[in-house]
Amino acid sequence: MTDLTTTYLGLPLKNPLVVSASPLSKKLDRVRKLEDAGASAVVMYSLFEEQITHESHELDHYLNRGTNSFAEALSYLPDMEQFNLTPDAYLDHLYRVKQSVEIPVIGSLNGISSGGWVQYAQKIEQTGVDALELNIYYVPTDPDLSSAELEDVYIKLVREVRANVRIPLALKLSPFFTSMPQMAKRFADAGANGLVLFNRFYQPDFDLEALEVTPHLELSTSNDLLLPLRWIALLYGRIDTDFALTSGVHTAQDVIKAMMAGANVAMLASELLSQGTQRLTSLLNELHLWMEEHEYVSITQMRGSMSQRAVAEPAAFERANYMRALNTFNQYQL
């Protein structure tokens, strides 16, 4: 019998399938269905900083840098009433979910400034959740704001939250760092127990008739797996932290690739939003079958087996991949 157990943030999990932050966790009965279908843990949808401290001076500092210095830009932010739950209602929802399911529940905070984060990180911890995920989602637009300054803000945020909560802490990262290995190490040194790679930035679109900038969201595909897959394979064994792969997990093969790269868990949401919660059950069955056919006895056995440190050609993860990929076009008649 294959052993699908794994650990993440020090939490023992029955399998590597974790539901990432999404609308799937906004209703208690849906979280129960996710558990019944086989999810090993669930990351709750995020409490946004704008819900917590939308009138604070610190958040105002970020909203008023660069392009956001225009009053018209500030009006693009939705009214707080448009969010599904107020901060207190969010905390109550976390508590009820935690009391209703057996699988680990991970809270989520989304923002950039430390402001109310420390206070609400503590309040989230008090609901009894098993861990906390910090989702840093910030698009710098000020040409006078250096990358070093912004990175220091990130590190300060992690340190302050880590100093004030005892539960495990994961950090959901953007892929847009000049030196991902150094930032990963700095985050781990600052107290992050796990890194979630990567956050998907939702790019705005243009409405050509109304001449307005409009929100735009597309569900991921398996093609989105490649970026986090590469970086986890590069960082595995070099950074002392757990890894969660998110973005592009749709098939059992995607999960297997994530484990072989070095991830502790594979997080998914788009596949469940499009196919339903029972997709978890079929994924687990497919995972069992693949492992039996290929004579893998456990997730632990395969973890990191395709990381850069383990493969025969480590350069395949670096510039050599770029050169080789371009050369494959030589076989086609253009």
Residues 257 and 225 sit within 8 Å (Cβ to Cβ): yes
- Torsion sign across C-alpha atoms 99, 100, 102, 104: negative
- DSSP label of 20: P
- With CA atoms as reference, report the closest residue to 92 among 107, 74, 80: 107
User: Could you tell me the pTM of the whole model?
Assistant: 0.85
Using pLDDT thresholds of 50, 70 and 90, give the confidence band for residue 80. Answer: very low
Q: Rounded CA gap, 46 and 93, in Å?
A: 12
Write b or e for each residue in 92-108: b if 16 or more Cβ atoms lie within 10 A of its Cβ, otherwise e.
ebbbebbeebebbbbbb
What DSSP letter does each residue of 143-178 carry, written as one string?
Answer: TTS-HHHHHHHHHHHHHHHHHH--S-EEEEE-S--S
Domain boundary assignment for the chain: 6-331
Q: What is the pLDDT of residues 162-205, one digit of tens each?
A: 999 999 999 999 898 989 999 999 999 999 999 999 988 777 88
Using pLDDT thresholds of 50, 70 and 90, give the confidence band for residue 72. Answer: very low
What DSSP letter does each residue of 216-247 carry, written as one string?
Answer: ------GGGGHHHHHHHHHHTTTSSSEEEEES
Using pLDDT thresholds of 50, 70 and 90, give the confidence band for residue 312. Answer: low
What confidence score (pLDDT) does residue 279 get? 98
Residue 118 structure tokens: 């420390």
What confidence score (pLDDT) does residue 298 get? 97
Contacts of residue 282, Cβ cutoff 8 Å, sequence gap at least 6: none
Torsion of CA 64, 66, 72, 74, to 10 degrees: -40
Of residues 64 and 167, more confidence is placed in 167
Average pLDDT, the chain: 85
- With CA atoms as reference, report the closest residue to 167 among 116, 113, 126: 126
Q: What is the largest CA-CA distance in the chain?
A: 63
Question: Is residue 97 scored above 60 in pLDDT?
Answer: yes
The dotted CATH code for 6-331 is: 3.20.20.70
Which range, of 127-136, 177-186, 198-207, 255-264, averages the lowest pLDDT?
Answer: 198-207
Residue 240 identity (one-letter amino acid): D
